[in-house]
Amino acid sequence: AELQETLPCCKCNRAEGSMRMVSLLRFFKMHGIGNDYVFIDCMHTPVEMLMVSPRILANIVSDRHCGIGGDGLVLICPPTKPDIGASVRMRMFNADGSEAEMCGNAVRCVAKYAFEKKLAQPAKPTNLVSQQFLCDIASGDANTIEEIGIQTGNGVLSIQLVVQKDRVGMICVDMGSPVVTPQAIPVNYHTAIDVPVAFPANQSNTEGYSAICVSVGNPHAVFFCDDLNAVDLATVGPHIENAPIFPQRINVHFVQIMSETEVRMCTWERGSGITQACGTGATAVCVAGVLSKKTQRRILVHLPGGDLHLLYDPENDHAYMAGTATMVFSGEMDLNEVIKDQQWKE
């Protein structure tokens, strides 16, 4: 399917008879603590006129040698309906072309871009839990916090931003209610706690590990371990991601507890491999820590790319993730030239 068939959210103002397929891709690159993506602003760019589908486009732009380089592709579109409380809609595709329901680091980038480019209609905060959490970690004044809504595959998320002189600093995302029902994650087991997972035969140092499975819009398997450095993530990650017990594959995380309020983690992302950070994964780790009584409900998570602040509030059953987002560069890419050179095929 061509991109115009899969992106009805991206409208073109040109008359139907004058539409032409174009190959010049205008993009920008952002990252959330090292979890980097290539973004396309579908609010202003006629992406439906590009010559390839989002799946192929994600393959092309994510390639770190022959493309732009990144963990995936993010499309910023108008919301599907004007009255759902969202300023923009985020669609995210992994490096392998598969579409993900949600990405915590990418949605912070989208929030920063939407606010600073005046695509969003900010309002004063209504989520008091998120506001207090953000004030505490950012040492900020509540008067500098704005709130916007972004539509994702996991619904419309409330996002609060610390703003000074029209520039966005720390960002807090209300990740919604975590799911621990096996069928909804999904996981083919009778419980989401202590899920037995078969590791590769040559990974004897992982014997006895079981997973706590959590969905925060996308599925995660969390393994608490004694020594993060002893985990051969490049070997066990893809093995667990594709294990039959996870019918839609799964994101894989190993976690070393430093204290009740601080952990280290590493990630193998479904469809992308080893990444510098995973926001939804860190959220799942926070929830798993509370469920297993290994950590407090508020933790600091150290990832290879940087730190995230997490809060799980059992009273309203919502999880909150806070961190930064960084604009790296923008540019143009000649898809005609790249496709001809690399022989990309649908």
Q: Is 278 a catalytic residue?
A: yes
C-alpha to C-alpha distance for 319 and 298, rounded to whole angstroms? 10
Structure tokens, 137: 């970690």
C-alpha to C-alpha distance for 114 and 213, rounded to whole angstroms? 32
Paired strand residues for 100: 92
From 42, 109, 278, 286, the catalytic residue? 278
Closest CA to 239 of 270, 215, 218, 208: 270
- Residue length of the chain: 346
| 3-state SS track over the chain | CCHHHHCCCCCCCCCHHHCCCECEEEEEEEEECCEEEEEEECCCCCHHHECCCHHHHHHHHHCCCCCCCCCEEEEEECCCCCCCCCCEEEEEEECCCCEECCCHHHHHHHHHHHHHCCCCCCECCCCHHHHHHHHHHHCCCHHHEEEEEEEECCEEEEEEEEEECCEEEEEEEEEECCECCHHHCCCCCCCCCCEECCCCCCCHHHCCCEEEEEECCCEEEEEEECCHHHCCHHHHHHHHHCCCCCCCCCEEEEEEEEECCEEEEEEEECCCEEECCCHHHHHHHHHHHHHCCCCCCEEEEEECCEEEEEEEECCCCEEEEEECCEEEEEEEEEHHHHHHHHCCCC
Structure tokens, 170: 């720390």
Closest CA to 344 of 18, 50, 38: 50
From 103, 225, 266, 286, the catalytic residue? 103
Count of CB atoms within 10 A of residue 82's CB?
8
Q: Is 172 a catalytic residue?
A: no
Catalytic residues: 103, 278
